[in-house]
Structure 1
Amino acid sequence: MHDPNCLFCRIAKGEIPSRKVYEDEEVFAFHDIHPGAPVHFLMIPKKHVASLAQVSAEDAPLLGRMLALAPKLALEQGCNPYPEGGYRVVVNTGTEGGQEVHHLHLHVMGGPRPWLKG
């Protein structure tokens, strides 16, 4: 379930320090080290899945939980409420999709504008 050479697996296991936002038995969320917005954190499954392209039907409940959790965490981290406020949820997939770490992760980005698109 874990890849010992994966940066995000090692972060989720506590082997590499991070600024934790949230943790439960299946999900770990932490601040991005190079934020592109006033609020920018990553949500990862603790189970190693290389990318959205490798997701199977058995992963659907986990992904649903992650997406349902994103709004709560976004507000807790400082995003303003919908509809005037808001945030973005981005999943980069593969090299051409901008994925740099090959462990599925959701970027949650928001906060007062302007901030760089990306």
Structure 2
Amino acid sequence: MPIDPTLEYDDQNIFAKILRKEIPCRQVFEDEWALAFHDINPQAPEHVLAIPKGAYVSWDDFSTTATDAEIAGFVRAVGYVAREMGLVETGYRLLANIGIDSHQEVPHLHVHIFGGKPLGPMLVR
């Protein structure tokens, strides 16, 4: 079910449980600001999710309430993961689904990092 980005943060969402190590993940990267791990249902040869460690529902929530250090740390983590996955030279796609119209399914801000093949157009026309 798509998520309303104006909702309160639900600390029982799957990503919160992964951050608390209650649910395992195939970790790619972790630092004080972010965690990145392989998607359990990959949509490309390389498909990693990057999440900030703070309790943020959406990009709007994150960009208005996170500290400058959290924002910089998360953005740098996403770039680091793309470089470490070897995606910079051939290209990659970042996707953050926010809210009902985009079909956000987990109420924790997350960025999909896709790569490993030509990804085609962004939206089907």
Change (3 A) 1:29 1:51: same
1:26 aligns with 2:30: no
Identity of matched residues, %? 37
Structure 1: runs of 5+ lacking an equivalent: none
Residue segments in structure 2 that go unaligned for 5+ positions in a row: 1-8
Alignment of 1:43 with 2:55, yes or no, is: no
Q: How do residues 94-105 of structure 1 correspond to structure 2 at under 5 angstroms?
A: 94-105=99-110
CA–CA distance in 2 between the matches of 1:66 and 1:59?
11
TM-score, length of structure 2 as denominator length: 0.77
Moved more, 53-62 or 104-113: 53-62
Count of residues paired in the alignment? 114
Deviates more, 1:63-72 or 1:4-13: 63-72
Q: 1:108: which partner in 2?
A: 113
Say whether the 8 Å CA contact 1:27–1:43 is kept in structure 2: yes
Q: Does 1:76 align with 2:81?
A: no
Contact preservation (8 Å) 1:39, 1:78: no
1:64 aligns with 2:64: no
**Cα distance in 1 for residues equivalent to 2:109 and 2:43:** 18
Partners of 1:40 and 1:26 in 2: CA distance:
20
Matched to 2:70, the amino acid is L
SS at match of 2:101: helix
RMSD: 2.3
1:103 deviation in Å? 0.3
Task: Please give the alpha-carbon distance, in whole angstroms, between the structure 2 residues aligned to 1:40 and 1:28.
Answer: 14
Point out which structure has higher relative CO (alpha carbons under 8 A, 6+ apart): 2
Structure 1 residue 60 displacement after superposition = 4.3
| Counterpart contact for 2:33–2:73, Cα < 8 Å | no
